[in-house]
Amino acid sequence: MYTLDAQQQNKVLDSFQRVVDKRDSSLICEDLYNHLNLNCNFISHLSLQGFREYYYGDNFQEFFEQFDRRSPHSQWREAPGISRKFEDLNEALIDYASSQDLIL
């Protein structure tokens, strides 16, 4: 498990909101990447740069849908390994994504 103090958790949430608002995976910070990869069952794509590149442009919708409760692709519905320690943070990510009308 990748641990995050309160300041890092705020940074993760801020980065996520910026990424969603700008629809730009190149804005994913290292703490957000590590949290998604190590605490939330995301595939690492070998590096932060690989992760950013994978979800860039046309693939951004795939990234977004994994957080949107309305999406059948939401990985949060059945992901068994999500750490309870980050339940509040993860819920904030989901709430933010689910409140957005993201149409690319």
pLDDT tens-digit series, residues 16-28: 999 999 999 999 9
Instruction: Give the torsion sign (CA, 79, 84, 86, 88).
Output: positive
Q: Is residue 91 part of a domain?
A: yes
pLDDT of residue 77: 52
Whether pLDDT at 30 is above 80: yes
DSSP state, 82?
A: -
Using CA atoms, how far residue 83 sits from 1, 3, 20, 62, 86, in Å, is 8, 10, 23, 22, 6
**Cα separation of 84 and 73, whole Å?**
21
Residue 38, domain member (yes or no): yes
pLDDT bucket at 69, cuts 50 / 70 / 90: confident
Residue 20 forms part of a structural domain:
yes
Residue-range definition of the domain harbouring residue 10: 6-98
In a domain, 104, yes or no: no
Within a domain: 52: yes
Residue 42: pLDDT over 60? yes
What integer pLDDT is reported at residue 18 of this predicted model? 98
Number of domains in the chain: 1
* Residue 44 to residue 100: CA distance in whole angstroms: 25
